[in-house]
Structure formats: C-alpha cells, structure tokens
Structure 1
Amino acid sequence: MIEELLLEIQNKEKFDFEETFEVYKECSRLIIDDETSAQKIIVNILEEKEKFEPALNNVLTDLIEAVGFYPYLAKENLQLDSTDSLIRQVYHHSDNLDKFLHEDQKHLLSLLNSEKNVVVSAPTSFGKSLLIEEFVASDKFKNIIIIQPTLALLDETRRKLKKYDEKYKIIVRTSQEPSSEKGNIYLFTAERVNEYKEFPHIDFIIIDEFYKLSSQRDDERADSLNNALHYILKTFNSKFYLLGPNIDNISEGFVEKYNAVFYKTKSSLVDVKTIDIYSKHKEKFDKPRKFKEYKEKILFDLLLEHKNNQSIIYCSSPNRVRYLSNEFCSYLTDKLQDNQNNDFDIIQWINENISKDWSLIKLLQNKIGIHDGALQKHITSTIIDYFNKGELNYLFCTTTIIEGVNTSAKNIIFFDKTKGLNTLIDYFDYSNIKGRAGRLMIHYTGTIFNFNPVPPNEQVIIDIPFYEQNPISDEVLINLEEDEVKNLDSEQYERIKQIPTVEKEIIKRNGVQVNGQRNIIETIREDINTKYDLITWTRNPNYAQLNYCLNLGWKFLMKKGESKSLGIGRLVNKTFNYGLHQSLGRLINSDIGYIIECVEYYNQHKENITDEVIKNKFSFGKRYNDKFELEIMEEVIMTNFQIQKHWFQYKIPKWLSVINSIQEFVCNEKGIRAGNYSFYTNLIENEFLRENLTILSEFGIPSSAIRKLEKLIPENMLQDDVIKSIRKNRLYENSDFLEYERNKLKET
C-alpha cells in the first residue's frame, strides 16, 4: 500500500482537491501507525508539491509539523496558524544558530544537554554534525576535542567553525599550544590525539564515524582511535558524543559503565529510492571481464540521461576512478560533440605545477570530478567545493565518499562491488554509500542505482576493544592499567607483563606494533656496535642510513595484509630522491624520463642481457613498451601522489619517529651518543616547507603558494600569527600568486 502510494505520487501528473485530501488523510493515519513511512510519504509529497492542491497547504503544514520536520516549514515558507503549534515551532528553533531543528535532532540535543553521554546511530541525512556546531556556538564547554577519520573532514569542520575564533583557538597541529585566555577546539585525527602533549582539561570529546573503533571493520587505525578515546576518558572523565550511521548496537555494558545512552533513529529528511539495474542485466554483469564494455555503456548512458542532476559514481579503487572517469569523458565528448571548456581556477595551477596534459584538466572542463585517497588534499577539497556549488555534474570516487568528506548528490551509482580488489562491500558500507543520495535541505529525494546485488542485511554491532576486550590487540591492551584488564590470566596479557617497564613506556608512546617494536629494539641492540653510523644519524641521512631504517620499518612495522607491491628497494629510492630534490614535481618528471629511457633501451636491446641492473631496466622497459607517453605520465602522476599521501606524509614519518625513539633508548642504555631523526622526519612529512608555515598545508593551501609566502612572512613569526598576518596585510593580493592560490589563501 505504501509503495503504491509512493509510485502514485511519483507518476501521477496532478492531484485534484479530493485526491489531495485522500493522500493527506492516509498520511495522517500513518503518523499514528507507522511514523517512518509517514515521514517518507511527506518527503515525497514535498518533492512533488506542485502536483498537489495548494488550497490544502494548511493540512500539509500540520502533517509536516506532526512528524517534527520543522526545517521544511521554513524552507517551504509554510505558516503554522495555531498558538500551540507556533510554540512548538519556536521550541525547535536553535538557541545558538539561525536554524530550526527537526524533532529527533531536538531530542538528541536534549540528551546531550543532560548528564548523559551519547552514542548515536542515525542516517547520513539526519544532520548529526549540525549539533557539533550547536555545542561550539553555545560556549558550554571550554576545551573540546573533535576526532574525525580524515584530514579532509577535519578541514571541512575547521571551515565551518572558524567563525567562532573569538571564543576558541582552533588547533589543527600537534605543534600548537593551547590558549589560556579562551577555549580550545582540537581538530585532530586519533593519531594526533595520541601524539599531543599539551592538553588542558578536556570537557567534551566528539568522535565522528565512531564505528572505526571496531576491531571487526578491518581498519588499521582502530588501535589509535581506541587509545585516544581511552586516554581522554581516563585522564579527564570528559563528556562524550560518538556519532555514526546505520549501527544497531555497541559493546554490551559500555553505556552503563560510562553513563551513556545509545540512541538509534531511522528518521531522515531525505527519502532514497532504489533502482535495480543489476537484475535487468544479470547475465552479462556477472561476467565482468567478458562484458566490461557492455556494463560501462549502461553506466554512461544512464549518466547522460540524468545529466541535469548531479551523480556520484562509486568505484573500487583510485585506478578504477581514473579509468572510468576518462572513459566516460571520451564517451561524453563523442555524444555531445560541442566540446565543453568550463574554466576552473585550478586548471592554471595544474598547468604550471603538474602537467598541461594531465587528464584532470579535460575531466574538469567536461564537468567531471574525481575523489580518492591518492590526490593531494587541496585538490580534493577544491573538487568537492566545485561539486557542492553545482559546477560539476559527475563525481567518480572510492570509499572516500563514505568516510572522507561530506557531500551528496541527487543520484548515487553503486557501480563496483568491492573495496580494493577483493573485499566485498557489505551492507553497512552499502548503506553509507546509499546515504549520500539526496542532499539535505536541497533535495527531498535521492536515488541509488544498483549495478550489483544489494549485500545481505546483517546487524551491525560495534565492539569497543578497550572496553570489551574480545578481541583486543596488543597495541590497545598495553595501554590499559591492570585493574582495567578483564582477563589477567590470558597468554596475551602475560606476554605484555613480561616487557620491561622502560621498554613498555616507549612502546606505548609510539602506539604501533608491540612485537614489531620489540624486534626493532633487539635488532638495534645487536647492530649498535657494528652499524653505529647507520643508526645514529642526524639531520639528513645518506642512502645507506635511510635504507637501514626503512628496512626495519618494512620488516617489523607493516601490519598483516598491508600491500607490499611498491617494494622496499623502490620505496627507499623514492624517499631518498624526494629528500634530495625536495619536490614531488621533480620526482614525477624524473620517473617519466626514466621510463621512456627504459622503453627505448628495451627496443634497442632485446637479447643477450646479463647484467642484473640492465635486466631490471630491460624488464621495466618491456612493461611500459605498449603504452603511450600520455598513459605513462598519467600512471606516474597517480603513483607519485599515492606515494606522497600514504608513505611520505604518513607511514615513513611514523616509522622514523618510532625507530628514532628506539635508537635513542638503546644509545642511552649503552652510554653512547644517540642520533636524531626529527629534522628529516618533519621535512618529509611537511613537503620541505618552512616550519612556521607548515600549518597552512592543514588548511588546504597548495605548497606552491606556501613557498611564495616564505618571502613575505618572517621566519621567526609564530605559526599562530601567520594566518593573522596574511589576513591583516592582505598578502594574498601579491602578484606572485596564481588566481587559484590567491583564492585558497582568501578562503583561509
């Protein structure tokens, strides 16, 4: 009956007075019997509002109010007429923001304002993050930590909250000190919470996407998040707000121990329709290699058909994003004939800093964006800005769309069925992808087009390992006090108890693989006399020193299942050259030149290769022999972006920091001079930018612009004063900056 009514609302051209009244009457009945269905029908009525009799708008107004969708009354300029309803509407207006809250948001806010801690599961379009701003605006808490899983999300939050900088100092880097004059908001990943040493008393901690605490979701950063939350709760007994989508329950007993409430709601202000593409084409879609082009054509025809509405296309990997977006771009230019030439400010920057031939230029000119974990942060944030402003029609993305950024579109295409090569998308991930369909307060409805079977619906219960401890990793267990450990007799805990106290403190502080760190301690103890020079370097390492350290990380600090496809030899080589040239652009050009040289060598010498080095060069040339120069360039750019994001800005700095602390410990133990890797570690992590300007990279400003600022900002200026100086002296107006760089600086 409900599905029939929804189809009638969608397909009928017009409802007269009597028909409108009947629909509204059925909706009124459902509010009592099945409020979730009533909400869905009301949202669909609003989507097709022009079809319904306007003389009955007063009835529609009452229905919207009855389900508590107060934001839509303001959006549609519908007026309540009774005193009681007007009082209820005013009650639902935010005390601190110029916005109305819907019924469930208001209830959630009342829970947060009580003495209870709150763990909430709600759909993507619920508006959970609005309540974060509500608390910041209320000035209720002096010191707040907001943990989000990606730097892109944190930057988005920073931009929303920067208007409160008179009340709060916003801290985004571990090198910043807290303010004593006003409050502090820490916008950190879990790793940065664990590294930070200067926390004042923390009143409130918020964890977005808290399902990443689970040991079952195969997230390599779950240990860091558990340790961060555990440390803050144990140290400060802070109030907390954990928020995430589509979760059925959490570890039993957690809410009782921490005076919390688990609040689950299905209330959504957007209705998502499902269209099954898979079943119509099952026979061919089930043979993806044989019918690859067939499936792609179905996708491209669908995208063109819906060109007047924005679409997000889910792809399994960055390689798939690049391939499908470029194939669609070729399809689009063939179909539309008139080549589009949309002008975006980033294109000039790409021409000057990457390559005038990079495919992203052509994609953008055809209103196509890409989003994945490999692109530089300022590029991804710019593409999302373009998409959110409606300047792009299509966005090809990976799982970053689930957890890496807040955006949505009228249409979501569930095209690939895996994360990476082999991990199937489960129902939880599918629900999160689906939740991006329809943009809150812009679209009333969205649509997901399924090119794959919907995964089986399974209950999602999020375990919290530091509390439940079944299972618990060594990296979390080592941070618990004895009275917090639930099984003191386990072999796992016995092993950890055997670690000497001083070693244990270093291992805890580093926060990575316990056994791996113990192996590194033993290896350095064995090597310290014979390989002293390789271990105790300072400032910039030579090749042999870097090779020794990165081999330790590769051997002992890689997690089970992590990809080793890059190879340790290549990783050492890339890292050393990056340190030598201090430019990703130089690395890209060097790689392209070397590959072309190898291809030429391969074509000249195809027999009698005996020397090992020549063999490697020969095989490299053979691999790329059939590729055009533009294809080589595309692959090199993508590979180097991935290496920079994953290795240079994340893994290698962490490895070197861990090994540095261990060599320092062993040297002190033996009474000899230790090395110090921190100078080189900071350079690698921060793209060789001057220390007081590195904070700007957190704000999505390209390093090209930051380097130009080196001439305009004194080296001894405190990093907290850098932004003030840019704003006060209008430094972005300097003629050295490209328009794109100028606009990024103005945003900040």
Structure 2
Amino acid sequence: MQEQVFDRCHIINELLIGNQENEARQELIKLLDYHSTNELAYNPLVNHLIRETGLFPYLDPETSNWEERFIYNAFKVDVGEEKPLTLHREQSFLLKSLLEGKNIAVSAPTSFGKSFVIDAYIKIKKPHNVLIIVPTLALTDETRRRLYKKFAHEYKIITTSDVELSDKNIFIFPQERAMNYINIVESFDIMIVDEFYKASSKFDKERSPSLIRAMIRLGAKSNQKYYLAPNITSIDSNPFTEDMEFIRLDFNTVFLEKHELYDQINNNEEKSVKLLEILSKNRGKSLIYAGTYSNIDSLTYLFLDTYEPVQNELLEMFAQWLAKNYDVNWSLTKLISREIGVHNGRLHRSLSQIQVKLFEEETGIRNLISTSSIIEGVNTSAENVIIWRNRKGSAKLDDFTYKNIIGRGGRMFKHFIGKIYILEVPPIESQTQLDIPFPDEILGDLDDTKYEGLLTKEQVAKLKIYNDEMCDLIGFQVYEELKAESAFQSSNYELIKTIAIDLTRNPTEWNGLYYLNEFKPQDWDRLLYKILKLQPGNWDTGYKTFVEFIKIMAYNWSKSIPKLLKELEDYDVGIDKFFLLERNVTYKFSALLNDLNTLQKRILKDKQYDISKFIKWCSNAFLPKVVFQLEEYGLPRMISKKLHESNVIDFYNSELTIHSVVEHLNEIGKEMTIERTNNLDEFDKYILDYFFDGIKITNTQQ
C-alpha cells in the first residue's frame, strides 16, 4: 500500500516538474481520497506535495516536516470562528489583494471557498458598513446564518427593509431590496456582489437590469468593490467593471470524477433504469438536476412508483408535519417518506431551508431533486451529482451552468471526490466571456448628464425622449425628485411611463383606490383587475384566478394553508400553484403597487390617496410583517402562530421588529420557548432547534 502511495507521489511530482500544477493537484486530491478510504496517515512526502500544490488546509501538522508546519500556521487567519483557519494559497492571495484596497472581480470554482475570504476581510479590516448582494433570498439567509454567528456581537446583520442602523452594519440583500437603502446609508466600505455574472442578460434576462441598477447606484457609494462568480474566462469591456482587476483562479479543492453514461441510453425508459441503478449503488447523498418543473414531476412519478416509504423517524415526522400544515396529498409529502426532497425557487423559504438542513443530516434526506435553484440559492454540495436533463427551463443547458451544477460534487474534508453521472449529452465545452451590455430598461432611472458616458448614442436619444415624456406627464420637478429618491421599485422604465399615462389620461377610473386599505376583500375586484392589467402577461395565471387568489390569500394568517387550498379548489390552484402565486403577490404585485402609489400621490394629489397599508399587506403575504420575515430566517408561519397564541410573542405589536424578536427569543432561550409554546409537535421542535442555531452568537469576543 505504501509502495502504491510512493508511485502516485512520483507521478504528481513529475507533473509539478512539468509545470502542470492543476493536473498535479487533481492527482493529489485522488491520492488524499485513497488515504481517507484506507485510513492512512499522510507521510512527509504527501504533506510536501500538498504544500507544493497550494492546498494548505489539507496539511497534517502531526506528520509534517517543520517547513510544512510553518506554512500551515503562517496561512492561518481569523475568520470569526473559535479557532483560526488555514487558507489555501489562492484564498490567501485574494485576501491580500482585498486588504490592499483593490477592486476585484474574481472567477473561481464552486469548491474554492470564497466565503472564507469575505469573513477574514471583515475580521481583519473591521469595516463599518459592508454590503453583500446575493441572487436569492435563500442565499441571503444562508449568508446571514454564517455571518451572524461570527459577527453579531459587533455588527448589526441586516437582511430586511426599514431597519434602524447601528454604528457597524453588514447588509445582506438581493439587489431589489438593497435599493431601499440607497438614501439611508452614506457610504459602504465594501460592496460585494455574489454571482455577479447575473448582471448579464444572457444569464438572467428578467433580473439583470435591477442588478446593474444596484451596481451603478450603490457602487457609487462604495469605497471598494469585490465581485464573485464561477467559471468566467474573461469579461468584455463594460462600464460596470472597468475600474476592477479581473482575476481568474482555476483552483479546485476537490476532484470531479465524471461518468458519461448517455451513450448507453437510447430512450427515457433506459434512462430511468440507469438512474435507479446509480442510486442503488451509491449510499452517499445525491443531487439530481432535473432542469424543469415538468421533469421534477416525471422523477416524482418514477420514485413514487419505484420506492416504498422507509423507516426513518426524522423523515416520518417531517412527512406528517407537511401533511398537517400543507397538503396530505402533496407529492413532496410522499417523497419525503422515501428519503427524497425537492428544491425549487417557488417553495416557502423555510421549506427549502429545512430540506437543505435535512440533506446535510446523516440520517436525513438522501436524494434531492432540483431545478437550477440549487446552484443559485444555496451552497450545499453532495458526494454524487446526477444530470438527468441537459435543460434549464425551455433552453438547452449552456456549458457555464453545466460546470456550475457539477461543481456541487464533492466537499472539502468530507468528499475529496465528487462523482458526476451524466445521463444526457452535455453542452460542448466552451470559454465564457461575460458580456454586460447596458440595459435599456433602467434608462429612466438615470441622470442623463451624470451617466451619459455609459450610454450609446441611441440610448442617450431614447433617454432624452423618455425624460421629456415623463416631464410632460408629471412635471419636471416631480420627476427629478422621484429619480433622486430612487422611488421606483421596478427596473422597467416603460412600465413606469405606462402607469403615469393611465393615471393622467383616466383619473376617474382610479376613483376609490383607497378602498383597498379597508379589509373587505369582496370589494377589491374592480381595482385589482385595473392594476393587474397595467402589466399584462406577468402573473403566471389568468386575471380572474389571480384576483380570487389575492382575495382568499387575504386570510393567510387566520386560516391554515389546507383551508385556503380547499377554497382555491374552484380555481384549480393546488399547492404548487399556491407557492407560485403567493410569491407573485409578495414581489411582482407589491412592486407594481408601490410604483402605482408613488405616481398616483403626485398625479392624483387632489384625491389624497395612499395605499401603503394595502401594499404592506401584499408584500408580507397578508401575514404580520415579522412573521413573514421570520420565514426567511427558517421559521414557518404555523410555528409563529403557535408562539403568538401562546403569548410568547405578540405579533400584532406594531413596535415589533425582526431584530427585537430575535433578541427576545435569545433572551428566553430555546428550551423555555419550547416549554411556553402550546401544541408543538416533535418536528416543530426540530425546526425551532434549527431556527435557534441560526440566531445564536458563537463568537463573543469584543
């Protein structure tokens, strides 16, 4: 066995001599996996090769020579945890560049460990205001949990709107929410944009304009910028990264072992057989990339037909909890009892987070079916990644996204080797040049003189015409004030103009708008139809269904989800559509309402309407505000309701904030909270344990 180790060390050394460091590192990781499998200690030669390839965290000080022990300790940094951690060579290089004050756009693999660099920067530099823009709310909470434990004793960790600032703040937001602080925070020491490739319309057509808007407006208030993405080869010339140094780091910490099985598959039936065969052979955790919602349904039918429920006390409790609180006939309820979970962007935040938590548990979910939400929403990984379909929505999977998905295979110190099973022909390997054109959609949000240098001649002309039209509609002074305030939530300037035109030309049709503030859902129809038609084709269902959904959803706090679903049966709204439409109400519809309200207060000012109350109801899914915010922290509404009914927290208290609730619960403690809350079942207690883990402070050093 030792002879085999020596032979492989010789091969790695030859690769290093031949200047093939990446190949040497891959071979070394396979050798470390061999040591782990056979429970072998590293000899000094193995430690030396670890040092030579820059994988310093893998060094074993117990079996190292003094040179390796020196490196292991020299690259230790305080990242806010109980003990300093050793960074690998490229992490250390990146941290050094940031500490020197450079603006950096970095491309590094999924397994690189980019978050440690951020944590070390905060710990060493001690900035006052840190802004972290993330692509999804799921990633917002994952980042909050990580930073809360390390820095909540020193910083206020802010993830929601309307929060009173502290002396030192870490803001973690999706781009739309970040804009709420544009006129509140004077400056940011550093703006960090995670997954910044989404600024390109090629990768996120719907939301790229709002990200670019945030990068421009908030970037102007930031002393330093740090943008992160995986698998970018180069960045085309653009005004958003021109003052930044682009660094490409091709440095993996795990090895991806690819099994290209698509040549053995001729039809869907054979593909299903192959998938079941892979899952039966591998007892480790598996991520199954399905690509689309319809493919998730196909896999659901396959698994329900193939597998029987298993004896697993934890998952049985979760399945019963889902049946009671959501839908007894829901496919997820049945899948969970078979150790299978589903991750997509529509589920309630807390449900996605609980499933990822169970996927991380040794005795929890074994297989997780996912859309691309798994690469955008969380930083989880698995021993096995299975590519079931080479699609992302209706389009074919591109090489960039494909690499991002398979990059979820393996994990430092847990799985040196990630096994990748490819059941459909992968995309042709290509270089990813990131192109970030200036989007027309945000022209109306810009000052034409201040930003003229960023625009093409055609865009300058468009902007001038648009500004003239808006000044004619609402007046020059009002329009300038609204732009200065960044008052609009929409990044679509044509939509803003559409609303202004309708209010100006048809003022009488908006009579009685303030009635929306009265909790009489039966009287909302006319106005809801009127508002929805400002943005046709945006609601994922017909107008009638969406109007009825809003009226029934208005009872979200007083009625259980099973009761709401019963009332929605007549409109063919099941549990999956419930999630989709609720999300549309809280985001798309609320944003439209906000922009409508902003404009009507100026255009219909004689009527003195203000629908802020109705907007708050919609943006919080008709739940008490803090209850809705707690779902982002991983606490489902039905448990919050039990806390409310047991007088642990009065969610009707208008003075309540997310931060005061977290502080209050920390003071009570988990055990006392559980003791004082009536009707908690065992899985409620499991969720509370997970929730409390996300609000505890582990580093108490001042």
TM-score by length of 2: 0.88
Match of 1:494 among 448, 464, 472: 464
- Structure 1 moving runs of 4+ over 6 Å: 50-56
Give the structure 1 partner of residue 661 of structure 2: 722
Give runs of aligned pairs for residues 107-122 of structure 1, distance below 5 A.
107-122=93-108
3-state SS of paired residue (1:272):
strand
Give the structure 2 partner of residue 289 of structure 1: none
Give the structure 2 partner of residue 576 of structure 1: 551
3-state SS of paired residue (1:378):
helix
Give the structure 2 partner of residue 383 of structure 1: 355
3-state SS of paired residue (2:419):
strand
Q: Which moved more, 1:424-433 or 1:475-484?
A: 475-484
Does 2:398 align with 1:417? no
Give the gaps of 5 or more residues in structure 1: 1-14, 286-291, 596-619, 621-634
Give the structure 2 partner of residue 249 of structure 1: 234
Does 2:618 align with 1:684? yes
Give the gaps of 5 or more residues in structure 2: 696-702
Does 2:300 align with 1:363? no
1:58 Cα deviation from its structure 2 partner: 1.4
Give runs of aligned pairs for residues 420-431 of structure 1, distance below 5 A.
420=393, 422-431=394-403
Between the two structures, name the one with larger relative contact order (CA 8 Å, sep ≥ 6): 2
Give the structure 2 partner of residue 657 of structure 1: 594
Separation in 2, partners of 1:245, 1:686: 33
Give the structure 2 partner of residue 642 of structure 1: 580
3-state SS of paired residue (1:42):
helix
Q: Which moved more, 1:345-354 or 1:186-195?
A: 345-354
Give the structure 2 partner of residue 532 of structure 1: 511
1:276–1:451 contact (8 Å) kept in structure 2? yes
3-state SS of paired residue (1:515):
helix
2:105–2:245 contact (8 Å) kept in structure 1? yes
Structure 1 pair 389–355 and aligned structure 2 pair: CA distance change class (3 A): same
3-state SS of paired residue (2:401):
helix
2:648–2:676 contact (8 Å) kept in structure 1? no
1:687–1:703 contact (8 Å) kept in structure 2? no
Give the structure 2 partner of residue 31 of structure 1: 16
2:199–2:212 contact (8 Å) kept in structure 1? yes
Separation in 2, partners of 1:56, 1:586: 60
Structure 1 pair 339–556 and aligned structure 2 pair: CA distance change class (3 A): closer
1:535–1:549 contact (8 Å) kept in structure 2? no
3-state SS of paired residue (1:556):
coil
Separation in 1, partners of 2:467, 2:597: 24
3-state SS of paired residue (1:268):
coil
Give the structure 2 partner of residue 609 of structure 1: none
Give the structure 2 partner of residue 623 of structure 1: none
1:254 Cα deviation from its structure 2 partner: 5.3
Give the structure 1 partner of residue 500 of structure 2: 521
Separation in 1, partners of 2:161, 2:141: 15
Give the structure 2 partner of residue 237 of structure 1: 222
Separation in 2, partners of 1:372, 1:478: 32
Separation in 1, partners of 2:41, 2:618: 66
Give the structure 1 partner of residue 208 of structure 2: 222
Give the structure 2 partner of residue 276 of structure 1: 260
Separation in 2, partners of 1:435, 1:712: 43
1:539 Cα deviation from its structure 2 partner: 4.0
Separation in 2, partners of 1:52, 1:363: 35
Separation in 2, partners of 1:397, 1:29: 41
1:450 Cα deviation from its structure 2 partner: 1.1
Give the structure 2 partner of residue 601 of structure 1: none
1:239 Cα deviation from its structure 2 partner: 0.9
Separation in 2, partners of 1:239, 1:192: 20
Separation in 2, partners of 1:256, 1:474: 20
Give the structure 2 partner of residue 503 of structure 1: 479
1:325–1:368 contact (8 Å) kept in structure 2? no
Structure 1 pair 223–55 and aligned structure 2 pair: CA distance change class (3 A): closer
Give the structure 2 partner of residue 127 of structure 1: 113
Larger Rg: 1
Match of 2:248 among 260, 264, 284: 264
Give the structure 2 partner of residue 741 of structure 1: 684
Q: Which moved more, 1:225-234 or 1:523-532?
A: 523-532
Identity among equivalent positions (%) equals 26
Separation in 1, partners of 2:25, 2:543: 55
Give the structure 2 partner of residue 395 of structure 1: 368
Structure 1 pair 591–690 and aligned structure 2 pair: CA distance change class (3 A): closer
2:213–2:491 contact (8 Å) kept in structure 1? no
1:79 Cα deviation from its structure 2 partner: 2.8
3-state SS of paired residue (1:145):
strand
Separation in 1, partners of 2:187, 2:507: 41
Structure 1 pair 394–257 and aligned structure 2 pair: CA distance change class (3 A): closer
Match of 1:201 among 177, 180, 187: 187
Per-residue deviation, residues 118-137 of structure 1 (Å, max 9, x unmatched): 11101000101121222233
2:43–2:64 contact (8 Å) kept in structure 1? no
2:319–2:334 contact (8 Å) kept in structure 1? no
Separation in 1, partners of 2:178, 2:208: 13
1:539–1:676 contact (8 Å) kept in structure 2? no
Give the structure 1 partner of residue 648 of structure 2: 712
Separation in 2, partners of 1:55, 1:122: 30
Separation in 2, partners of 1:111, 1:90: 20
Structure 1 pair 227–64 and aligned structure 2 pair: CA distance change class (3 A): same
2:503–2:600 contact (8 Å) kept in structure 1? yes
2:108–2:231 contact (8 Å) kept in structure 1? yes
Separation in 2, partners of 1:377, 1:56: 43
Separation in 2, partners of 1:24, 1:656: 64
1:50 Cα deviation from its structure 2 partner: 6.4
Letter in 2 for 1:361: T
Give the structure 1 partner of residue 65 of structure 2: 81
Give the structure 2 partner of residue 192 of structure 1: 177
Structure 1 pair 716–218 and aligned structure 2 pair: CA distance change class (3 A): closer
Q: Which moved more, 1:723-732 or 1:207-216?
A: 723-732
1:342–1:365 contact (8 Å) kept in structure 2? no
Separation in 2, partners of 1:540, 1:681: 12
1:296 Cα deviation from its structure 2 partner: 1.8
Alpha-carbon RMSD across the aligned residues, in angstroms, is 2.6
2:513–2:611 contact (8 Å) kept in structure 1? no
3-state SS of paired residue (2:201):
coil
Separation in 2, partners of 1:376, 1:142: 33
Q: Which moved more, 1:89-98 or 1:569-578?
A: 89-98
Per-residue deviation, residues 524-543 of structure 1 (Å, max 9, x unmatched): 22221354125775344655
Give the structure 2 partner of residue 666 of structure 1: 603
1:20–1:53 contact (8 Å) kept in structure 2? no
Does 2:25 align with 1:49? no
Give the structure 1 partner of residue 408 of structure 2: 436
3-state SS of paired residue (2:311):
coil
Give the structure 2 partner of residue 455 of structure 1: 427
Q: Which moved more, 1:355-364 or 1:60-69?
A: 355-364
3-state SS of paired residue (2:418):
strand
Letter in 1 for 2:666: R
Separation in 2, partners of 1:641, 1:190: 22
1:225 Cα deviation from its structure 2 partner: 1.1
Structure 1 pair 488–193 and aligned structure 2 pair: CA distance change class (3 A): same
Separation in 2, partners of 1:676, 1:375: 32
Does 2:149 align with 1:177? no
1:520–1:556 contact (8 Å) kept in structure 2? no
Give the structure 2 partner of residue 590 of structure 1: 567
Does 2:378 align with 1:405? yes
Separation in 2, partners of 1:695, 1:542: 24
Letter in 1 for 2:11: E
Give the structure 1 partner of residue 270 of structure 2: 294
Separation in 1, partners of 2:536, 2:115: 35
Structure 1 pair 139–553 and aligned structure 2 pair: CA distance change class (3 A): farther
Per-residue deviation, residues 353-379 of structure 1 (Å, max 9, x unmatched): 123343323322221111111211111
